[in-house]
Amino acid sequence: MELSKLYDQKEPKFSFEVFPPKTDEGIDNLIGELNKLKKFDPAFISVTYGAGGSTQGRSVKVIKRILNEVKVTPLPHFTCIGSNESSILDFVKVIEGLGIKNILALKGDPPKDQADYSPENNIFNYANELIAFLKQNTKLEIAAAGYPEVHPKALSLDDDLDHLKLKVEAGAEVVISQLFYDNNYFYNFVERARQKGITIPIIPGILPLYIPSQIEKIIELSGTHLPEDFKRALNDSQDNLEEFKKIAVDYSVKQAKELLEFGVPGIHFYPLNKAEAVEKVLLRLK
Ligand code: FAD
């Protein structure tokens, strides 16, 4: 279903985000994990994309297998750094050829260890430029990224929301948010976005912090801030994995319930390619 119609309905929509594994065996495992999450009737499964097309082959492989084997609509991500008009249109041709109607249009992060990545063929500097190009040249409906805790390169929330508005004016139908753990950031983000005249659905992102060794990396990559109580509870249970997992799931359940009470039209989960944590959360929400 097109993004513009998806969040019109009464029931909130759940969606999942995955990244393409490096090997075929990894992709087989991912498909197995997604089959466990299928029972929650996801609105879509989004598939990340490496800057400059570094994961394109694997992203397309995963998209095709989600479509054919999991039988859920995939939402391809696409990043504009390192892309030009023809590489964008080549990718669009592939996904439109699969019958896909939506895309998550992003600037993209430079490849790891290349913070000064500056590809020669860069034509599009910001996601709003990619969105405008996609709107002019394709029939795809478009999701854009939003940052309740402010994008790391933005000067302020106000500045970041002005740029979000450019993405909406360029044609984005939906905003999908970066993960966060303190709902107050999200409530404030939505309120300030509405004040700026951004009226499209804004979907919060939730990532259950289920594996102790991943926490530092997740915090670093997303720039999120954990509420002190939650941080302390996780720290105190680092040596007791079962307790740690329970705290993580309880927290995500509480976070999701509060967001649903607030009236969000959907929640985008980040399962990190494993079903278990999100499955536990969704079983308790249903
Ligand atoms: P933009 O909207 O272009 O914003 C980037 C920065 O520039 C912000 O600070 C913004 O305030 C500023 N800015 C925006 N427009 C302008 C303008 N016109 N003039 C001046 N400043 C401007 N990365 C990947 O590489 N692959 C993925 O698959 C991927 N998936 C993601 C999914 C979600 C839901 C989210 C939230 C992020 C994802 N990312 C992914 C990360 C994302 O690519 C980075 O956060 C990137 O740095 C910003 O992307 P954006 O599309 O939000 O960029």
Mutate to test the pocket of ligand 1, among 106, 118, 150, 224 (most ligand atoms within 8 A of CB): 106
Higher pLDDT, 258 or 82: 258
Residue to probe by mutation, ligand 1, list 18, 134, 163, most atoms within 8 Å of CB = 163
Ligand 1 centre distance from Cα of residue 17 (Å)? 16
Catalytic-labelled residue, pool 11, 17, 33, 129 = 17
d(CA 235, CA 229): 10
Active site residue 17: yes
Amino acid at 50: G
Percent of the chain whose predicted confidence (pLDDT) is above 70: 96
CA 80 – ligand 1 centroid, Å: 10
For residue 19, what pLDDT is reported?
97
Pocket test residue of 126, 150, 272 for ligand 1, highest count of atoms within 8 A of CB? 126
Distance (Å) from CA 61 to ligand 1 centroid: 24
**Whose alpha carbon is nearest atom 47 of ligand 1?**
109
CB 55 within 8 A of CB 27: no
* Cα 79 to averaged position of ligand 1 atoms, centre (Å): 9
Q: What is the pLDDT of residue 119?
A: 64
For residue 49, the ligand 1 atom closest to its alpha carbon is 28
Task: Please tell me the distance between residue 109's alpha carbon and the centre of ligand 1 in angstroms.
Answer: 7
pLDDT tens for residues 98-117? 999 999 999 998 777 666 66
- Ligand 1 nearest atom to the CA of residue 51, by list position: 25
Measured CA to CA, the distance from residue 45 to residue 150 in angstroms comes to 25
Sequence length of the chain is 286
List the end-to-end C-alpha distance of the chain, in Å, as a whole number: 22
pLDDT of residue 160: 98
> Looking at residue 286, what is its pLDDT?
81
Measured over the CA atoms of residue 160, residue 165, residue 168 and residue 169, the dihedral's sign is: negative
Inter-residue contact 123 to 83 (CB < 8 Å): yes
Instruction: Quickly list H helices, 171-224.
Output: 183-195, 215-222
- Asked if the model's pLDDT at residue 282 lies above 80, the reply is yes
Q: What is the pLDDT of residue 220?
A: 93
pLDDT at 76 over 80: yes
- Average pLDDT in the 137-154 region? 97
Which of residues 54 and 227 earns the better pLDDT score? Answer: 227
CA 242 to ligand 1 centroid distance, Å: 35
pLDDT, position 126: 96
Average pLDDT over residues 129-143: 98
Listed residue (156, 162, 193, 159) closest to 177, CA to CA: 193
Report the pLDDT value the prediction gives residue 82, as an integer from 0 to 100.
85
Lowest mean per-residue pLDDT among 70-74, 110-114, 122-126, 186-190: 110-114
Mean pLDDT computed over every residue of the chain? 95
pLDDT attached to residue 178: 98
Query: Contact, 79 vs 107, CB < 8 A?
Result: yes
- Where residue 122 falls among pLDDT bands split at 50, 70, 90? confident
For residue range 157-175, what is the model confidence (pLDDT) as tens digits?
999 999 999 999 999 999 9
**Residue 86 pLDDT more than 70?**
yes
How high is the pLDDT of residue 10? 85
Going by alpha carbons, the residue nearest to atom 13 of ligand 1 is: 163
CA-proximal residue: ligand 1, atom 41 (nearest): 108
pLDDT in tens, 21-65: 999 999 999 999 999 999 999 999 999 998 777 788 999 999 999
* pLDDT value, residue 179: 98
The pLDDT of residue 9 is 82
Which positions ≥6 away from 99 have C-beta within 8 Å? 67
pLDDT in tens, 244-257: 999 999 999 999 99
Q: Which residues line ligand 1 (CB under 6 A)?
A: 48-49, 51, 77, 79, 106-109, 126-128, 145, 151, 153-154, 159-160, 163, 166-167, 176, 178, 205
